[in-house]
């Protein structure tokens, strides 16, 4: 494979996330067709704690952007990121506009435009009348989740979030132990007993690059950002931050970004479609719009999109402007 590339590989930078490091040392965590993930600080000698590590990604599609990603332009048709001469575990050192890989070759990153950096912000929905219509969309979003999810990820929780399923029904329907564990963690909030102690218990729940529970938390925080009830209560923020040591570097990165108000592009697009649905006067048109949005978001990752949308539904049904209440 090394013979296919010169010692220097030129890639053009289209968009840079505000959290992508300017200078750092890390290791290649995973390689995919459209993305390379590098852990900075979390998997090297004398590493910083996982909860403070950064997952930096080079991606080929904007929909895969996060605040710690770099969108690069494909140099030719058929180009794959995993064709680059790098392997999982290789050292990667960022120095300005270059990434030195495995100490043997370099990716040079040349900017092709002056686009503002990607910050992943979600605009608060206004006026209040649109927020009330947004809350009414929780039911069609959950319905689309249950249809599109087909019991993947944490999607089966959608019925319980709307109060349309008993604990017995959830336990019987969900063979996945992570779904049952998530339901147990959310039960106090769903019952109205303790709305502020649920999300932290989901951190690290599941498997994969970003565990399902982490995606759920990010989705819930996205609902809060869109609905606009203000900063997360300090008690819950501290609880979530404390739990980040128990998840993956990728999970810790996206949750930490979400706590700071920055979200993945696929989730920003989802919230944008949902926000536009609140402008539609016809109820059926709103339902069609959000159903399409759920299908699109649900296609992200193995179950990440479905998990995040399930968390979003939880957020819509439990948060109100001015604080947290349980319906």
Using an 8 Å Cβ cutoff, are 265 and 273 in contact? no
The pair of three-digit structure tokens given for residue 244, joined into one six-digit string: 């980040």
Residue ranges of alpha helices (H) inside 55-156 are: 128-136, 138-149
- Looking at the fold, whether 106 and 156 belong to one and the same domain comes out as no
pLDDT tens-digit profile of 56-101?
999 999 999 999 999 999 988 999 999 888 889 999 998 888 898 8
Q: Please compute the mean of the pLDDT values over residues 307-322 and round it to a whole number.
A: 81
Please check the confidence at residue 51 and state whether its pLDDT lies above 70: no
Task: Report d(CA 326, CA 193) in Å as an integer.
Answer: 9
Using an 8 Å Cβ cutoff, are 57 and 37 in contact? yes
- Looking at the fold, whether 158 and 275 belong to one and the same domain comes out as yes
| Amino acid 170: pLDDT | 57
Cβ count near 206 (within 10 Å):
26
Please check the confidence at residue 321 and state whether its pLDDT lies above 80: no
- Looking at the fold, whether 98 and 138 belong to one and the same domain comes out as no
| Amino acid 138: pLDDT | 92
Task: Report d(CA 306, CA 312) in Å as an integer.
Answer: 10
Q: Which has more confidence, 197 or 266? A: 266
Q: Would you say residue 265 lies in a domain?
A: yes
Q: Which has more confidence, 175 or 325? A: 175
| Amino acid 324: pLDDT | 37
Q: For all residues of the chain together, what is the average pLDDT?
A: 84
Please check the confidence at residue 36 and state whether its pLDDT lies above 90: yes
Instruction: Tell me what percent of the residues of the chain surpass a pLDDT of 70.
Output: 85
Residue keyed to tokens 């179950």: 303
- 28 membership: H or E segment, kind and range: strand 23-31
User: Across 137-146, 181-190, 227-236, 262-271, which has the greatest mean pLDDT?
Assistant: 262-271
Q: Please compute the mean of the pLDDT values over residues 162-180 and round it to a whole number.
A: 66
Question: Which residues pair with residue 9 across a beta bridge?
Answer: 107
Q: Would you say residue 204 lies in a domain?
A: yes
Q: Would you say residue 117 lies in a domain?
A: no
Please check the confidence at residue 297 and state whether its pLDDT lies above 70: yes
Instruction: Supply φ then ψ for residue 211, to 5 degrees.
Output: -55, 150
Region of poorest pLDDT, from 223-237, 262-276, 294-308: 223-237
Q: Show the domain range for 69.
A: 2-111
Please check the confidence at residue 197 and state whether its pLDDT lies above 90: no
| Amino acid 325: pLDDT | 33
Using an 8 Å Cβ cutoff, are 240 and 255 in contact? yes
- Looking at the fold, whether 153 and 255 belong to one and the same domain comes out as yes
Q: Please compute the mean of the pLDDT values over residues 185-214 and round it to a whole number.
A: 82
Q: Would you say residue 180 lies in a domain?
A: yes
| Amino acid 323: pLDDT | 38
- Looking at the fold, whether 197 and 142 belong to one and the same domain comes out as yes
| Amino acid 220: pLDDT | 94
- Looking at the fold, whether 103 and 163 belong to one and the same domain comes out as no
Q: Please compute the mean of the pLDDT values over residues 227-232 and round it to a whole number.
A: 77
Q: Would you say residue 121 lies in a domain?
A: no
Q: Would you say residue 116 lies in a domain?
A: no
Residue ranges of alpha helices (H) inside the chain are: 128-136, 138-149, 157-161, 167-173, 177-191, 212-227, 234-243, 249-259, 265-277, 283-298, 304-318
- Looking at the fold, whether 173 and 63 belong to one and the same domain comes out as no
- Looking at the fold, whether 68 and 176 belong to one and the same domain comes out as no
Using an 8 Å Cβ cutoff, are 288 and 282 in contact? no
Please check the confidence at residue 322 and state whether its pLDDT lies above 50: no
| Amino acid 175: pLDDT | 66
Q: Would you say residue 79 lies in a domain?
A: yes
Q: Please compute the mean of the pLDDT values over residues 196-221 and round it to a whole number.
A: 90
3-class DSSP assignment, residue 141:
helix
pLDDT tens-digit profile of 121-153?
999 998 888 888 898 899 999 999 988 866 678
Q: Would you say residue 196 lies in a domain?
A: yes
* Sequential DSSP letters for 88-134: TT-EEEEETTEEEETTTEEEEEEE---PPPB----PPP-SHHHHHHH
Of the three residues 51, 79, 111, the one that is the final residue of a domain is: 111
- Looking at the fold, whether 21 and 82 belong to one and the same domain comes out as yes
- Looking at the fold, whether 90 and 151 belong to one and the same domain comes out as no
pTM reported for the whole predicted model: 0.90
Domain count, the chain: 2
- Looking at the fold, whether 270 and 188 belong to one and the same domain comes out as yes
- Looking at the fold, whether 176 and 245 belong to one and the same domain comes out as yes
């Amino acid at each position: 494979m090394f013979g296919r590339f010169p010692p220097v590989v030129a890639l053009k930078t289209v968009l840079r996330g505000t959290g992508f490091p300017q200078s750092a040392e890390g290791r290649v965590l995973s390689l995919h067709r459209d993305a390379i993930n590098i852990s900075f600080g979390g998997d090297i000698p004398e590493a910083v704690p996982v909860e403070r590590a950064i997952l930096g990604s080079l991606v080929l599609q904007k929909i895969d952007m996060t605040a710690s990603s770099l969108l690069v332009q494909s140099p030719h048709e058929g180009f794959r990121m995993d064709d680059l001469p790098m392997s999982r575990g290789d050292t990667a050192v960022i120095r300005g506009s270059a990434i030195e890989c495995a100490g043997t070759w370099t990716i040079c990153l040349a900017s092709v435009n002056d686009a503002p950096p990607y910050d992943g912000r979600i605009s608060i929905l206004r006026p209040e009348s649109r927020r009330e219509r947004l809350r009414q969309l929780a039911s069609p979003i959950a319905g689309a989740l249950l249809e599109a999810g087909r019991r993947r990820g944490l999607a089966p929780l959608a019925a319980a979030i709307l109060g349309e399923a008993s604990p017995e029904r959830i336990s019987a329907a969900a063979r996945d132990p992570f779904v049952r564990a998530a339901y147990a963690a959310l039960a106090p909030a769903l019952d109205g007993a303790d709305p502020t102690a649920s999300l932290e218990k989901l951190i690290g729940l599941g498997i994969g690059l970003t565990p399902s529970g982490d995606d759920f938390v990010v989705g819930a925080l996205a609902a809060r950002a869109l609905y606009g009830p203000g900063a997360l209560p300090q008690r819950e923020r501290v609880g979530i931050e404390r739990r980040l040591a128990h998840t993956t570097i990728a999970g810790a990165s996206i949750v930490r970004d979400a706590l700071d108000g920055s979200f993945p592009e696929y989730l920003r697009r989802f919230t944008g479609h949902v926000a536009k649905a609140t402008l539609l006067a016809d109820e059926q048109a709103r339902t069609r719009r959000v159903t399409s949005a759920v299908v699109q978001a649900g296609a992200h990752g193995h179950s990440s999109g479905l998990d995040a949308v399930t968390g979003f539904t939880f957020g819509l049904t439990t948060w109100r402007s001015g604080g947290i209440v349980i319906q």
